[in-house]
Amino acid sequence: GHATAPEDDQDRPVRPRPEHTAAPDQAVPPPADRATEPGTEQPTGLFDLLGVAAVLLEADGRIDMWSPQAEELFGYDRAEAVGQYAAPLLLSPENRDAAIELFPEVMETGRGWAGAFPVLLKDGGTRTAAFRNLRLTDPLGHHSALGLATARSTLRRLAPDAPLSPR
């Protein structure tokens, strides 16, 4: 929420406090806990170390948003990926059908999905990616799907005992 000035203090501006600012009785995390230090390329946060890619899909399966980490993971730059159908771009024919069956289920029910499967890379190679997919809904009730992904090899190296899915 936004802070408001007390009635008797009208001439002194009061800055709104961002939601993520720690309350006075809470400890403020040390700078090392931030994802990356300003001016450095060295990853320091878990999402940076995992190289978590974010891809936003429209309800019809077309890619709407593509993160820089998605470029690194899959090899396609934003201009090559946005507007394309995700399944034919990223999945081999033998894995496409399963994904095409899962997608409407996530979109209709709102239940997320987590797991790993092979993806096609721009260079023609393949890599197994660990995914977490969930439905997002805008204020008008339109659904999109957010896919978060990382290379399974990276996940196994950094968190060898972590399950890919809680189910």
Q: What stretches of the chain show up as alpha helix (H) in DSSP?
A: 46-50, 68-74, 78-81, 86-90, 93-109, 152-158
pLDDT at residue 39 in the model: 52
Averaged over successive runs of 10 residues, the pLDDT of the chain (167 residues) comes to 44 42 44 47 67 92 96 96 96 85 88 89 93 94 94 77 60
Asked if 146 and 103 touch (Cβ cutoff 8 Å), the reply is: no
CB atoms within 10 A of CB 76: 19
pLDDT at residue 126 in the model: 93
